[in-house]
Chain A
């Protein structure tokens, strides 16, 4: 037995090589293409064209406004909600946590379509209801979803759960002793919160703000559905419009470079802000945090949580159910008007339904498994500084965040439509795209989980003679089990939702559900969209519930 042979180096080298191929190849092609002129020579003409053209500068400004607003809104909503759920005796906290996670299952573009049904200025159900109640004249609208504000609202609805999960998980892991000590020393509840809880949670909140910012920056589906009818572009929809015939990938590539630079700067800023403090909050043994008593505020707290949940969850799903069983989405279904027409159409007539379902779930399972494993390895290498140049790995794993999915799609398209790896037209190119796109979030999740596990536990294992991989398998992995399962679920869900790269990379044989829904949206077939979305959410929920059961099962691994 080569029990003591440390396999870590070859494994780490392989991971580094894989990452390089996955990320450097498409990004490299993008950079090359962005710097290539029409004559094939090196030029900055694409960038000059970009920054002197108002049809680029306007979307850039719009996108920054959206990203900042979304980031702020998400933190304002997610932080109190995360705190209520993790640290107080608010009733139904577990249910509320599950429901926020569930809202993440909704693809943002489906959410946008549902909010169209709710808040389109004339036909929106909420506007109709308000007209009925208040006698508002038919031409006026309470909500207009086809507006910048409407778009920011809808993006926030489906972005704040990311921040919420980060915050709630961080607060879960925070040792109760620190707060206990503070109370014992005479601090009031709110003082403890201000002096202990908030500073400890702040790095996570900053990370959350960053995630929200980048999500909003790179989102394609919601703007495509809401901004185009409103008559403006965001950067992603503008880039997408460059792939209309004749495609102009050189301009699209150039347009993605400012995003890349911006993201790198943000990540540097985050690292500097967090760099000086140590945040290993899960060491050997700590007590569970003590819930804070809300007293009479328990009722209002639940009401607030439910109100927040109505935005991404209750209202949109009510609208989707309504339109799934209605002939016209803008009419409330009654016992006399209810119809199975859309269900029949989707499953019996629509010839793309079954192939798309099959492709989607195959890809989601493969991406989640591969992605979680890869992210685990990278997070470990970076957190434990296991190889020289680990920072490069961390950077590479985060880099895809900076590239809009649609541009990454083009990069992959450029990279994999030529020998030796002509993968376009196969499911492999989509698998690579999905793993690459989800890697940053998966890596960040597992990375922050690693930061919370004190290396002393691993060091003990190493000192007792175990190899690095064995320590990882026997000590670190079990401690991170829930984080790994959560990451798997996260990638699974995210893959199902992914639209922006898929919309570039699919062919008719490799169509996925999100693209099918997008095509249906283009022609306004909202009934079928509602049926497909609900089906998708139902299946996803089953898969996640199964994964969580796996999680809950007592550990059976032999020591």
Chain B
């Protein structure tokens, strides 16, 4: 049984009293859900612009921006894409210097939202769709953030270089000497997806698995969006980790990429979004946050970006394995929030960079 299904069941079975099981303690009642009203749209248009810090693949990020701009003409959206860990560092740096450029933030490392919430950097804001439809597992009980995107961090291989029967089926398979020098992998110091996945894999497989993997002469890249692209180029035969959505999009475009959901389970990556407390364009930020959680916007993420969604009214893509059929590893954002530095240090010990 999958985690999301479990949580959906919990949601279906429980009342609103179940809220509060998610990550941080409840301090006060969350704010009233906000609808997209003409007044909000007008106020946003008056601001005319805002910036969105995200770590989602750039091509998808810009498509989201174009869709939003088409829906609400007169508002220019700037996409600031970088690895989640780099964005995290920069936002902290800017915040310390009282520079507030960021309106809406999205991170593939859910732990970041916890840290920002603790630092009181987020504005409470609950879009109507989140209040009405999102399962508790995907919204902050204090209304500070909600899961804008969900994806996985699977294994994948290049179908021209590897036959389906030879492809790795599990994380254990990646340690086979035949993959020496043929694996590409992203880095937890730069990518939130990989940070999240590294915590889950080191918990379930143990660090010795990483130590052995490091001896396979792994090609080390930074962002989780890059390994699938290296596969498509044929630079490496197998990727040990990377964004499922990027791999799935490449596959849909006819590139020789095939995804493997490892027998041990695949790390689940939740990417929450929030409005910044000091957003320079608070209305545009709220309008975007509200729109980005609607069924329409969430379905767009799936259709053009191959992401997964917490919105129960969205439908999976036919060309991707059903979310509920995938064995997943348990995500523990609160653990990542406390252990991120130790995880990075351990990783560097084995992989040298």
Contacts and interface: CB of A to CB of B under 8 A. Distances in A.
Contact of B353 (A228, A327, A507): A228
Contact of A228 (B59, B101, B222, B255): B222
A191 interface: no
26 contacts: A121-B235, A122-B234, A228-B221, A229-B219, A231-B217, A231-B351, A241-B353, A244-B86, A244-B344, A245-B85, A245-B340, A328-B233, A351-B65, A351-B78, A351-B79, A352-B79, A425-B99, A507-B90, A507-B101, A508-B51, A519-B81, A523-B81, A524-B229, A525-B58, A525-B59, A528-B58
Contact of B235 (A232, A247, A330): A330
A433 B77 CA distance: 29
Given A508-B102, A522-B83, A522-B222, A350 B62 contact: yes
B233 A245 contact: no
Q: Which of under 10, 10 to 19, 20 to 34, or 35 or more describes the interface residues of A?
A: 35 or more
A146 interface: yes
B225 interface: yes
Contacts of A329: 233
A349 interface: yes
Nearest to A425: B99
Contacts of B332: none
Interface string B53-94: 100011100110110000000001111111101101110111
Contact of A507 (B88, B94, B235): B94
B72 to A, nearest CB: 15
B226 A524 contact: yes
A123 B80 contact: no
A229 B220 contact: yes
B230 A524 contact: yes
B348 interface: yes
B352 interface: yes
Contact of A352 (B78, B189, B223, B351): B78
B37 interface: no
Contacts of A237: 353
Contacts, number: 129
Contact of B99 (A121, A122, A231, A424): A424
Interface of A: 55, 120-123, 138-139, 146, 227-229, 231-233, 237, 241, 243-247, 327-330, 345, 349-352, 355, 417, 422, 424-425, 507-509, 519-520, 522-526, 528
B101 A245 contact: no
A241 B225 CA distance: 20
A519 B181 CA distance: 26
A298 to B, nearest CB: 42
User: Main SS of chain A's interface residues?
Assistant: loop
B227 to A, nearest CB: 8
B341 interface: yes
Interface of B: 51, 53, 57-59, 62-63, 65-66, 76-83, 85-86, 88-90, 92-94, 96-97, 99, 101-102, 161, 181-182, 187, 189-190, 217-223, 225-226, 229-230, 232-236, 253, 255, 340-341, 344, 348, 351-353
Contacts of B222: 228, 522
B234 A123 contact: yes
Query: Closest 10 CB pairs between A and B?
Result: A524-B226, A524-B229, A330-B233, A123-B235, A425-B99, A123-B233, A523-B225, A349-B62, A245-B89, A523-B223
Nearest to A505: B93
Q: Please indicate which of the listed interface residues B79, B94, B187, B222 has the most CB atoms of chain A within 10 Å of its own CB.
A: B222
Contact of A351 (B62, B101, B341): B62
A231 B220 contact: yes
B89 A247 contact: yes
A343 to B, nearest CB: 14
A121 B237 CA distance: 12
Contacts of A417: 96-97
A122 B235 contact: yes
Contacts of A520: 58
A231 B353 contact: yes
A229 B53 contact: no
Contacts of B101: 425, 507-509
Contacts of A123: 230, 233-235
Contacts of A121: 235
Contacts of B93: 247
Given A244-B189, A245-B340, A522-B223, 14 more contacts: A139-B181, A146-B219, A227-B353, A229-B220, A231-B220, A245-B92, A247-B89, A351-B79, A417-B96, A424-B99, A508-B78, A508-B80, A508-B101, A528-B58
A524 B353 contact: no
A509 B103 CA distance: 12
A505 to B, nearest CB: 10
A417 to B, nearest CB: 5
A232 B353 contact: yes
Nearest to B161: A138
Contacts of A350: 58, 62, 79
A185 B77 CA distance: 75
Contacts of A146: 219
A348 B71 CA distance: 17
Given A231-B353, A241-B189, A351-B78, A524 B223 contact: yes
